[in-house]
Structure 1
Amino acid sequence: MGYPKIKQVRAYVIKGGEGGGGADYHDQGEGHWIDNHIATSMGRYPEYRQSRKSFGINVLGTLVVEIEADDGTVGFAVTTGGEPACYMVEKHFARFLEGRNPFEYERIWDQMYFGSQYYGRKGIVVNAISGVDLALWDLMGKLRQEPVYHMLGGAVRDELQFYATGARPDLAKEMGFIGGKLPLYHGPIEGDEGLKKNVELIADMRSRVGEDFWLMYDCWMALDVNYATKLAHKCHEYGLKWIEEAINPDDYWGYQQLKKNVPAGMLVTTGEHESTRWGFKMLLEMGCCDIIQPDVGWCGGVTELLKISALADAHGALVVPHGSSVYSYHFVITRHNSPFAEFLMMAPKADHVAPMFHPQLLNEPIPEKGRLKVTALDKPGFGVNLNPEVKLYRPYEH
């Protein structure tokens, strides 16, 4: 069957004051739990300790990629990257797509990655590649009139189950989630007193949720091996299930040591800020972690996530993507080594379930009682629409 070729690739940012939330979910208003004294590697500087926005976590903004076929069908996706990523998409990557069959996604990905290798390989360049790749899969699904998960091999279970990331695991339990992952509030610079507060918080939450509910700590690259080891051992008696992204993502040797150091039965997880199969190969072959957590909007898109997942499967590791809404749901539902999914609690007080990429996406499915039926994904492509009320700005054209 013949398909229309790709006519045009376009890249946008959100215009005006509507950039808050959405794919750039760290860009939230005052008082949101996601920006409240969370431990970071910048915590060593007092002026950047209270808010991650203070050191610029929200400076990039959302990237919106549209890929239009000859017949007028448009696939789109959102991720982070803002204007710098727009420039790469329009001025560099578009040449590898326009005039092509959209189902040549392997060749398109390969050319984007190796064509930018001299200045890319990780970070914002791979974010941009991810946005293009996700938009391409959305277009392919729309052209075939089937959801992305069908094209990935079909569902291996009838529903997704979720753990919640947010400030209130106790409320997450009431909402039906299988676990709750807390941000770590105090880093090494705050010394023994900060460490004590971290342990007390886990102890308090354990008393609220009972014995069987998962509790995890997201350390957002803030710790060193010594501190992470002490934290793991002090929290072990309160049933901490895993310690996540504890140290610098480039310190594979540190993760290797941490995995040896943690108490028996506690998991080490990481990979949110890792890119491509080669980065995850390091984590897996060096025995750095039990669960890898690629973000499909940052690691290279669906095309690369499939390779990362196969590599993890061969190493007996689980793949639990970092929260990326529908873009990861279509993947998780098709993989046995992705038994559950993350849901970021985007309500400011983490007290109710809200769409993760609001306001940019319409028809975004959200879990009910911590679950999501596969039928909620039964729409062409990723099954979401771009909100027409969100104003887009196209900073570059080619």
Structure 2
Amino acid sequence: MKIRSITARAVDCGFQKQTLQTTRIASPMSRFPRFAESRASWMWPTKKVFVRVEGEDGHIGWGCTNGGEVVEMIVNAHLARLLTGEDLGDVALLQDQMTASLLPNDRSGFAMMAVAGVDIALWDLQAKASGQPLVDLLGGSAQDTLPVYMTTPRPEAFTDGPWHGLKAAAPYGPEAGQEGLEANIALMRRFAEAAGPDVPIMIDAFLAWDADYTLRFAEAAADLPLAWIEDPIPPQNIEDLRRVRDELDPDIALALGNFAYSRADCADLLRSGVVGVLQPDVAWAGGITETLAVLDMAAGTDVPVILHNTCEQPWSLAMAAACQTGAQVECVDRGETSPLYSLMGPRPDLAGGHVAVPRDPEGNRPPQFVLPAFDAGAEISKGG
């Protein structure tokens, strides 16, 4: 089957209104006072990008990624013309073509988000054309549910379930001094109390720390059940990550990879020996095809892979179920009513610390408020 058309639209889905965007959370911009109090004050283009791929038989595949108008432009102005008219039979070949075409200009970030959005839509189209859910197209799974760890700003809301971990977003970095460090530790004590015995706690530093601060934090948290520190330092700073790994308590892992945008980035982390948990995001790191290659690489190591922000991405849940043994997944707590939980299908069914494996043969389906952006003559970048 040949590809008839590819179209991307950036749609405002309320991402900037989420609690994790509007409250103080450490970030690479925390050292600049103007941008320290909220991620929403500086965050990259935050509209969700929906990608629609139509096959010549009338089936439609959908993908979704981040990057707003920038990623929308890459898909519409570049990737669409490369793939329109191509045969759907070899999605890996199509993904390779997209990635190769961007190499002279960009090898990560927005470029790979654009590739990911198209790749996810191609897999969805292939699954629909074959009449089976994605999890079966990927090889099938005997699992009906997957264990979940929760990333949340409100740990007390998750004291009643057998979650497989609670993760905090660090509010402070080195710029906040000793007072900020003590506030970070106090937050983790709240998480430990809420999690209860035998439930690990984790913290996401979102590239806001340095080696000295990371080690000071770990020392101050020595009496807490801290399983990992996530992204304390930019992933390209392997030298400082090695120093942290060498001096850090060996029982505390470094969780890295959701800012690794390709198999090459993930390979660098694996070769360095610093990563204890690898966390690529399927919608950022080149899509399903690229992440399958990452899973193959990691299978030859003792490094577990937990796909980033899994529960908002039905394709990530399908991959975890079909392609991993003993998979664990992440759910980001957006509150009770956020539309971000249901951008490509029904809200994930969470119960007993587990999430249901998606098996809907209709595949990815954007919500109704997104569809007008794809009407004939709709202006690109106008959100729903």
Task: Classify the TM-score, shorter chain.
Answer: over 0.9
Which of 13, 18, 21 aligns to 1:20? It is: 13
Which of 25, 28, 44 aligns to 1:41? It is: 28
Contact 2:138–2:323 under 8 Å retained in 1: no
Over residues 143-180 of structure 1, what are the superposed CA-to-partner deviations in whole Å (9 max), with x where a residue is unaligned? 01111111222215332110110112232232442211
Over residues 200-243 of structure 1, what are the superposed CA-to-partner deviations in whole Å (9 max), with x where a residue is unaligned? 22123323332212210011000001101111222131111111
Q: CA RMSD in A?
A: 1.9
Match status 1:395 vs 2:380: yes
TM-score by length of 1: 0.89
Q: Name the aligned partner's letter for residue 368 of structure 2.
A: P
Identity of aligned residues (%): 27
Any idea what SS the aligned residue of 1:95 has?
helix
Any idea what SS the aligned residue of 2:355 has?
strand
Contact 2:205–2:232 under 8 Å retained in 1: yes
d(CA) in 1 for partners of 2:341, 2:53: 21
Contact 2:45–2:69 under 8 Å retained in 1: no
Quickly say closer, same or farther: Cα 1:11–1:338, change in 2 above 3 A.
Answer: farther
Match status 1:150 vs 2:136: yes
* Pairwise CA distance, 1:139: 0.4
Tell me which moved more, 332-341 or 281-290.
Answer: 332-341
d(CA) in 2 for partners of 1:338, 1:321: 13
Which of 324, 328, 333 aligns to 1:345? It is: 333
Contact 1:62–1:81 under 8 Å retained in 2: yes
Match status 1:171 vs 2:157: yes
Tell me the equivalent position of 2:319. Answer: 331
Tell me the equivalent position of 2:351. Answer: 368
Tell me the equivalent position of 2:359. Answer: 378
Tell me which moved more, 363-372 or 110-119.
Answer: 363-372
Any idea what SS the aligned residue of 1:174 has?
coil
Quickly say closer, same or farther: Cα 1:285–1:125, change in 2 above 3 A.
Answer: same
d(CA) in 2 for partners of 1:163, 1:356: 20
- For structure 2, which runs of at least 5 residues remain unmatched after alignment? none
d(CA) in 1 for partners of 2:94, 2:154: 42
Contact 1:166–1:181 under 8 Å retained in 2: yes
d(CA) in 2 for partners of 1:355, 1:329: 19
* Pairwise CA distance, 1:358: 4.4
Tell me the equivalent position of 2:2. Answer: 5
Match status 1:231 vs 2:217: yes
d(CA) in 2 for partners of 1:275, 1:386: 24
Quickly say closer, same or farther: Cα 1:136–1:394, change in 2 above 3 A.
Answer: farther
1:1-398 residue pairs with structure 2 within 5 A? 4-14=1-11, 19-21=12-14, 25=15, 27-28=16-17, 32-55=19-42, 57-155=43-141, 157-324=143-310, 325=312, 326-337=314-325, 339-347=327-335, 352=336, 357-358=340-341, 360-374=343-357, 377-380=358-361, 383-390=363-370, 391-392=372-373, 393-395=378-380
- For structure 1, which runs of at least 5 residues remain unmatched after alignment? none
Question: Where do 4+ consecutive residues of structure 1 move more than 4 Å?
Answer: none
